[in-house]
Amino acid sequence: MKQRIRSGSRGGSRTGIRVAVATVVALTAVATVGGCAFSRPRVKVPAYLPSPATTSAYDASDPTPTYEPTFSPSPTQETYDPDGRSDVSGSNCDFSDSLRQFTYTVSITNPSTTDSFSYDMAVNWMKAKPADGKAYGLHERSIIVGPGDTETYTAKYSVNQSSIGQFWFTCQITRAQKTRM
């Protein structure tokens, strides 16, 4: 048997291709590790950013927005706070020794121009010295006040003791629950 040895131009070109491919792979690896192959484009960030448009309501010195809701209740639907103590005032806080009775003049003004309200009132005569939160007496009453009207009445509380020495007290409106009629 004879052995054939291949020779010729074909074998050399295959070796050359292999060498060329190996060289490209080696150069690509070196370039990638070195950071110069497939580099990302550089992005330049501006040092100065443009300010918001002049039509904006934003003020950099006051970061709270200037938005205000556009809803306003119609005159037939006035809003109200059910705690009506801001509609109430009191005067002439007194105690009568002969009647053994506390009195306090209460005035209720309904600020509404359209609605009547019922005010569920509570008046307390409180211990003032020492102010320990104890009440001498309590007066409760419901009163209806028409739109824009003021109603005045005298709250009273009688003490069942025959003899009361000197004492200190204050008058307080502790409740004025307001309900639309």
User: Which has more pLDDT, 58 or 77?
Assistant: 77
Q: Is the pLDDT of residue 17 over 80?
A: no
Q: Predicted confidence band at 134 (pLDDT cuts at 50, 70, 90)? A: confident
- On whether the CB atoms of residues 65 and 57 are closer than 8 A, the answer is yes
Mean pLDDT to the nearest integer, 112-127: 94
Neighbour tally for 145: CB within 10 Å: 23
The CA distance from 17 to 159, in Å, is 120
Q: Is the pLDDT of residue 90 over 90?
A: yes
Mean pLDDT to the nearest integer, 149-157: 96
Q: Which of 14-28, 57-71, 147-161 has the highest mean pLDDT?
A: 147-161
The CA distance from 118 to 181, in Å, is 7
pLDDT computed for residue 132 by the predictor: 85
Q: Is the pLDDT of residue 111 over 70?
A: yes
Mean pLDDT to the nearest integer, 3-10: 51
pLDDT computed for residue 35 by the predictor: 54
pLDDT computed for residue 80 by the predictor: 77
Mean pLDDT to the nearest integer, 12-26: 64
Neighbour tally for 176: CB within 10 Å: 21
Mean pLDDT over each residue of the chain, to the nearest integer: 76
